[in-house]
């Protein structure tokens, strides 16, 4: 096997003093102690909010999509936090969305079988693109190096690479999975794409940077019949764990951490963590600054209505923190760029922004 190599990734070392100072040279538990709720958004109450995301490299801009068919853009500073604008146009629930690298546009997918491109500054819908198969669209992600390309997954088991400038799918950029496509994630260089479906499989694809063509590489059956609801890729986890990794939620009451062992995306299970997830589309994330700390932390939603923090490097007692405040299953979590704020969304439409304790 070819060991996975990320020659353009910066790997932290124990001598990363500036980075450690930024993260705080304290224990993981201290770093992830939260002082409580900063704000609660309830503009989508009564319909689930499946996705909440801070803008890239941004501390105070947050967006969330709802099964009520809309996306709201929120500003957390200056106080009080406000909903800047609501993006309306989809005729059914919005299943997923993504910020472009420069945060000037958002792409969204919907159960109405369309994806939409939005201007974030004024909320304008720039383009509406029908799914090539006329199927419900369930997830999306930008190609990290070329934001003109977006990958979408649909209910007819297909992954499509879409050119958002032309509104057309890329030639050779489509592939079929074994089930409804629920989760997508690129590695940082944009050369590997992973897709998870509702039959319990995760597929890896080689992405041709020049053409946008997908080549199916590997398939892992996580657990037959257990939907894979979230995939997050990371080039390295910490200075103690430098292997490329994948964080996966599946309806097995477990959060799973895999090691990526070669350049074709072959996966090897490293750790699992107990959460409650048997039926909801729960998601998880790697913490953005964790690579410079002792240990390494991941955060996940859960059907027990809590937000859970786990140290992936700790052999025993991996649970670092648990936030309580939601009254429905927690579906998604998102950190801002400096980890001062964490947002979580739930199945009842509530979005809570949590504030980290100031040292």
> Looking at residue 88, which CATH number applies to its domain?
2.130.10.10
In a domain, 167, yes or no: yes
In a domain, 173, yes or no: yes
In a domain, 248, yes or no: yes
In a domain, 95, yes or no: yes
Centre a 10 Å sphere on the Cβ of residue 165 and count the other Cβ atoms it contains.
11
In a domain, 82, yes or no: yes
Rounded to whole angstroms, the Cα distance separating 195 from 231 reads: 8
Q: Does the global pTM surpass 0.75?
A: yes
Per-residue pLDDT in tens (0 to 9) along the chain, 359 residues: 344 443 344 444 444 454 455 545 556 677 788 878 999 999 999 899 999 999 999 999 999 999 999 999 999 999 899 999 999 999 999 999 999 999 999 999 999 999 999 999 999 999 999 999 999 999 999 999 999 999 999 999 999 999 999 999 999 999 999 999 999 999 999 999 999 999 999 999 999 999 999 999 999 999 999 999 999 999 876 665 568 999 999 999 999 999 999 999 999 999 999 999 999 999 999 998 754 556 689 999 999 999 999 998 887 889 999 999 999 999 999 999 999 999 999 999 999 999 987 75
Rounded to whole angstroms, the Cα distance separating 69 from 50 reads: 11
In a domain, 14, yes or no: no
**Domain, as residue range, for 50:** 29-356
In a domain, 24, yes or no: no
In a domain, 125, yes or no: yes
Q: How many helices (H) and strands (E) does the chain have?
A: 2, 28
Centre a 10 Å sphere on the Cβ of residue 60 and count the other Cβ atoms it contains.
17
Three-state SS string over 278-310 comes to CCCCCCEEECCCHHHCCCCEEEECCCCCEEEEE
Look at the chain and report how many structural domains it folds into. Answer: 1
């Amino acid at each position: 096997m070819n060991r996975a190599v990320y020659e353009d990734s910066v790997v932290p070392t124990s001598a990363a003093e500036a980075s450690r100072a930024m993260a705080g040279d304290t224990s993981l538990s201290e770093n992830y102690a939260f002082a409580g709720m900063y704000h609660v958004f309830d503009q989508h109450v009564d319909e689930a909010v499946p996705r909440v995301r801070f803008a890239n490299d941004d501390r105070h801009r947050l967006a969330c999509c709802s099964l009520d068919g809309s996306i709201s853009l929120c500003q957390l500073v200056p106080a009080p936090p406000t909903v800047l604008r609501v993006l309306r146009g989809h005729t059914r629930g919005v299943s997923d969305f993504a910020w472009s690298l420069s945060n000037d546009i958002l792409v969204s997918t919907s159960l109405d079988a369309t994806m939409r491109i939005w201007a974030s500054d004024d909320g304008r819908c720039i383009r509406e693109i029908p799914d090539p198969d006329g199927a419900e669209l369930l997830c999306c992600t930008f190609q990290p190096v070329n934001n003109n390309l977006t990958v979408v997954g649909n209910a007819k088991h297909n992954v499509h690479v879409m050119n958002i400038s032309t509104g057309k799918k890329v030639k050779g950029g489509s592939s079929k999975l074994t089930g409804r496509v629920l989760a997508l994630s690129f590695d940082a260089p944009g050369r590997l794409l992973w897709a998870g479906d509702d039959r319990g499989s995760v597929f890896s694809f080689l992405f041709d940077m020049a053409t946008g063509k997908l080549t199916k590489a590997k398939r892992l059956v996580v657990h037959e019949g257990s939907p894979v609801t979230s995939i997050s890729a990371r080039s390295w986890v910490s200075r103690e764990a430098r292997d490329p990794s994948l964080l996966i939620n599946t309806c097995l009451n477990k959060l799973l951490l895999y090691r990526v062992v070669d350049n074709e995306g072959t996966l090897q299970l490293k750790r699992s963590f107990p959460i409650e997830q048997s039926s909801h589309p729960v998601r998880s994330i790697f913490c953005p600054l964790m690579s410079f700390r002792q240990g390494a932390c991941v955060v996940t939603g859960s059907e027990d209505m809590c937000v859970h923090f786990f140290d992936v490097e700790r052999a025993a007692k991996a649970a670092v923190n648990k936030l309580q405040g939601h009254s429905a299953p927690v579906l998604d979590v998102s950190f801002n760029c400096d980890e001062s704020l964490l947002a979580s969304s739930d199945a009842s439409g509530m979005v809570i922004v949590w504030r980290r304790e100031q040292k």
